[in-house]
């Protein structure tokens, strides 16, 4: 019987090489794990997998935190869960603003009703620790929120010492590590971070849709003080806190933490397939070894940067603080940036990134992370870009990019 045309066709996407700022191609092992059978949310096998996920992500976050788990949703879900559970309406929150995703933190906090202050630097720079300390003292912030690596600018904010500043001021520290977890060191305990969140779709080499999170004991105490269990699932062994109720049900970390604990509060139905994906992402990362993985991402970033420079392109931002996994290059004068991106996609099945805000139409962003932080994928991308630029009439030293990248990879 013929398939009804109104049902469209079977999904059969092109096999593109995703070399933008994310998402990137998922590791085949992760995709295979996602094909496993579903389980009931309280099946002992399922809760066993949940406990394994908690254990697997502790070293990836650089923490001993008991409360290390998953939020069901894209990376933004974990960001919102962290912020809405830390900050109540009227709370003073300081945001480090050095790119699009610092602005996102401000956007979410404004919807919460927090009293927001920012410490700002131009895109392409990072915020000095001294300026943060002065801003904390000036604002009396109860929460300090920052991005670790902002893919809009490709800058990685230094975080050593920030947790100590926050603790001295009685503030909690939130860090969005969506773009760096699994590719650069995440040191939640050493940083003194209270909540750190991530995503699967970048350096972890998985699909978007599940978001790792870790929560310090200090933050957990603060969050449980705001616990308010919904009416239909109240139990005698779970007592509400006396603080302001968290302003979201789905993103209420107090209830989510009780779900992941031995209490197994029936807050939501865990996204089983995404848990399988997150579990396999972590197994791949730890199987490679954290130091080896960080070195591979650093090599990919060096190679991409060297190849782009060898073509005569200029990189955006401060090289001293660049993320290892995303590299931005100015679009040359007279070159149609979108036409080059289309040619990369249509002729070579390679996707590179555009930009946001003040960088829109001015830079391309090249990612090499997770399953794509490999020498041959960087070289293929550079070779394809060279061909597309030549086709646009851009004068460049033909044949220099790939050898430059090869030399840089081995440095």
The predicted structure's pLDDT at residue 9: 85
Using the structure block, give the residue that is written with the tokens 């806190």: 241
Band of pLDDT at residue 2, cut at 50, 70 and 90: low
- Judge whether 98 and 105 are in contact, CB under 8 Å: no
| Strand, coil or helix: 410 | coil
Spans of all domains in the chain = 28-285, 290-409
Q: Is the pLDDT of residue 389 over 80?
A: yes
Predicted confidence (pLDDT) at residue 5 exceeds the cutoff of 70? no
> What pLDDT shows up at residue 85?
98
> Which one of 3.30.360.10, 3.40.640.10, 2.20.25.10, 1.20.1740.10 gives the CATH number of domain 28-285?
3.40.640.10
Checking DSSP bridges between strand 172-176 and strand 326-330, what pairing results, if any? unpaired
Task: Calculate what percentage of the chain has a pLDDT beyond 90.
Answer: 97
pLDDT digits 0-9 by tens, 15-62: 999 999 999 999 999 999 999 999 999 999 999 999 999 999 999 999
CA distance 306 to 98: 25
Average pLDDT, rounded, for the chain: 96
**CA 329 → CA 306, 316, 376, distances in Å?**
11, 6, 20
| pLDDT 10s digits, 200-227 | 999 999 999 999 999 999 999 999 999 9
Q: How confident is the model at residue 4 (pLDDT cuts 50, 70, 90)?
A: low
What are 106-151's pLDDT values in tens digits?
999 999 999 999 999 999 999 999 999 999 999 999 999 999 999 9
Please say if the pLDDT value at position 6 is more than 90: no
Confidence of residue 14 (pLDDT cuts 50, 70, 90): very high
- Per-residue model confidence as pLDDT tens digits over 247-262: 999 999 999 999 999 9
Distance CA 324, CA 297 (A): 6
Mean pLDDT, rounded, for 380-392: 98
Q: List the one residue out of 385, 370, 367 whose CA is nearest residue 152.
A: 367
User: Are 276 and 114 contacting, i.e. CB atoms less than 8 angstroms apart?
Assistant: no
Q: Which CATH class is domain 290-409?
A: alpha beta
Question: Residues 294-309: pLDDT tens digits?
Answer: 999 999 999 999 999 9
Percent of the chain with pLDDT over 70: 99
């Amino acid at each position: 019987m013929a398939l009804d045309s109104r049902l469209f066709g079977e999904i059969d996407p092109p096999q593109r090489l995703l070399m933008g700022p994310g998402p990137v191609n998922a590791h085949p092992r992760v995709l295979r794990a996602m094909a496993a059978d579903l389980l009931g949310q309280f099946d002992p096998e399922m809760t066993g997998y949940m406990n394994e996920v908690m254990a697997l992500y502790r070293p990836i976050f650089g923490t001993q935190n008991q409360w290390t788990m998953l939020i069901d949703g894209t990376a933004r879900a974990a960001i919102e869960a962290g912020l809405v559970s830390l900050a109540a309406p009227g709370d003073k929150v300081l945001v480090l603003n050095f790119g699009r995703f610092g602005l996102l933190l401000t956007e979410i906090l404004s919807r919460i009703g927090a009293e927001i202050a920012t410490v700002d630097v131009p895109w392409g720079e990072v915020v000095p620790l001294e300026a943060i300390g002065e801003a904390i003292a000036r604002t009396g912030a109860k929460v300090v929120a920052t991005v670790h690596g902002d893919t809009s600018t490709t800058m990685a904010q230094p975080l050593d010492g920030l947790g100590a500043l926050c603790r001295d001021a009685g503030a909690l520290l939130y860090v969005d590590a969506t773009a760096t977890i699994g590719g650069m060191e995440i040191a939640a305990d050493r940083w003194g971070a209270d909540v750190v969140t991530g995503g699967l779709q970048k350096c972890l080499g998985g699909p978007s849709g599940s978001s790792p999170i870790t929560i310090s004991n200090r933050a957990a105490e603060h969050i449980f003080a705001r616990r308010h269990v919904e009416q239909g699932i109240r139990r005698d062994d779970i007592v509400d806190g006396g603080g302001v109720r968290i302003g979201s049900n789905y993103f209420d970390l107090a209830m989510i933490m009780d779900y992941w604990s031995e209490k197994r509060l029936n807050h939501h139905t865990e996204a089983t397939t995404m848990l399988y994906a997150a579990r396999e992402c972590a197994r791949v990362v730890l199987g490679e070894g954290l130091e080896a993985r960080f070195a591979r991402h650093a090599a990919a970033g060096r190679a991409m940067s060297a190849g782009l420079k060898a073509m005569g392109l200029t990189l955006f931002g401060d090289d001293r603080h660049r993320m290892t996994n995303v590299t931005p290059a100015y679009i040359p004068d007279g070159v149609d940036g979108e036409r080059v991106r289309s040619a990369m996609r249509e002729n070579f099945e390679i996707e590179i990134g555009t930009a946001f805000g003040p960088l829109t139409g001015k830079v391309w962003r090249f990612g090499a992370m997770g399953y794509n932080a490999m020498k041959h994928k960087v070289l293929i991308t550079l070779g394809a870009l060279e061909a597309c630029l030549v086709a646009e009439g851009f004068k460049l030293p033909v044949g220099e990019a790939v050898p430059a990248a090869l030399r840089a990879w081995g440095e």
